[in-house]
Structure 1
Amino acid sequence: MNFYEKLRDMRKLKGFTIRELADRSGVSSAYISQLENGNRGVPSPDVLMKLSEGLNTPYSNLMEIAGYLEQSADRQQGEDYVKPRVNLRRFLQENELIFDGMELTEQDKEWVERMLTVLFWKDKLKKDGSSKE
């Protein structure tokens, strides 16, 4: 499978139309269509960065698929890749974040953190309550 087919499959697996990916990434829908149809060469690393943000996919994956990076030895041997654990609270606090092309302010990030706290706090209460019954 070539880069163009893999890009199309990734987009479809995420459930995005070409237009939705264009809106999310800032890459024109015409260009994405040409890429997926094999009518363009492999895009530059800058375009791949935008597409990775739009697809919510690691940049390194697109760089590998495009041939800019060699596949890691573990993945070449078929071993499962183990994703590193990330402390979400620290990640929110320490990084500049973008969501659907919009830059999150410190206040936005604080609200996201509060919503996640409430969400998981309710889940924790349900689990603790059901185990006491």
Structure 2
Amino acid sequence: MNFYEQLRDMRKLKGFTIRELADRSGVSSAYISQMENGNRGVPSPDVLMKLSEGLNTPYSNLMEIAGYLEQPQDSERSKDYVKPRVNLRRFLRDNELSFDGVELTEQDKEWIERMLTVLFWKDKKKDEKTEV
């Protein structure tokens, strides 16, 4: 399966139309359509970054299927690989973030942090009550 077929399948699997992916990624719907029909070359890493955000798919996956990165052989993949744990509070504070193509301000990130704090605080209190 080539890059264009895989891109189309990823988009459809997420349930997005070409226009929805264009809105989410900032890549024009005409360009996406041309890519999926095989009428364009493999996009640049910058375009792949935008598409990865729009598809909510790891950038490295798109870079692999586009041929920019070598795909590891099964024998090279570690069965015991554990993804590193990310401190979400630090991640929110230390990174420039966007959601569905909208850049988040410092105030947006602060509100997200507050909502997560409340959400997990409630769950922690529930767990403490059930333990008693």
Give your verdict on TM over 0.5.
yes
CA distance in 1, matches of 2:22, 2:75: 31
Structure 2: gaps (5+ residues): none
User: 1:129 maps to what in 2?
Assistant: 129
Looking at secondary structure, tell me which structure has more helix per residue. Answer: 1
User: 2:85 maps to what in 1?
Assistant: 85
* 2:106 paired with 1:106: yes
User: 2:4 maps to what in 1?
Assistant: 4
Identity over aligned pairs, percent: 83
Question: 1:1-133 residue pairs with structure 2 within 5 A?
Answer: 1-73=1-73, 77=76, 79=78, 82-132=82-132
TM (normalized to structure 1)?
0.87
TM (normalized to structure 2)?
0.88
Q: Encode CA deviations 1:8-50: one digit per residue, 9 max, x unaligned.
A: 1211222221111100111111111121122221111111111
CA distance in 1, matches of 2:24, 2:121: 31
Q: 1:89 to 1:7 in 2, by over 3 A?
A: same
Q: 1:51 to 1:124 in 2, by over 3 A?
A: same
CA distance in 2, matches of 1:76, 1:95: 34
4+ long deviations beyond 3 Å: 75-82
> How far apart are residue 125 of structure 1 and its match?
2.1
